Amino acid sequence: MMPQLHSVGRVAGKHGYNGEISLFLERQSIADQIKKGNFLFIEFDGKGVPFLIESFKRNATVVKLADIKNERDAEELEGRPVFLETPIEREDEDSELLGFQICNADGIVVGVVINIEEYPAGPMFILESDGKSFMIPFVETWVLEVNPKKKTIHLDLPEGLVDL
């Protein structure tokens, strides 16, 4: 019997040269469920392939998987969806990012997340800056880094988006 898998994010890319990978998790609280000795499932041809977790650096969201030995192996996983077989406890996902600073690729603060609203085209960050509110779309491919300790999200924003 196949275990029930739950989507938790994707492989953001390789990390270093020894086969470690960096993960982009849907929520930082998911990191609590990733542990050495458990399995992380990565999607290949629509199926979750299990990889034994050899180590996990929670603060950097970096994982070392068995059988991924070098940079080339890690590169092949980039962008692939990631799953866990344990049920994910759902919580108010919006509140987890409230108060985070959104920064552009140069590290300049664009605004502070005051709300996240769901639209037919996808979620939108509602930001506040200099007493004004504005929206920017949450586009996963724009995410460069999420730092829960510093409460920052670095995005590769299209030129002129925040100047409108």
Q: Which domains does the chain have, with CATH numbers?
A: 6-84 (2.40.30.60), 93-163 (2.30.30.240)
CB atoms near residue 50 (< 10 Å):
16
Query: For position 156, what pLDDT does the model report?
Result: 92
Q: Using CA atoms in the order 83, 89, 95, 101, what is the torsion angle rounded to 10 degrees?
A: -30
Q: Is the pTM of the predicted complex or chain greater than 0.75?
A: no
Question: Which of residues 24 and 85 earns the better pLDDT score?
Answer: 24
- Report the alpha-carbon distance of residue 38 to residue 31 in Å, rounded: 13
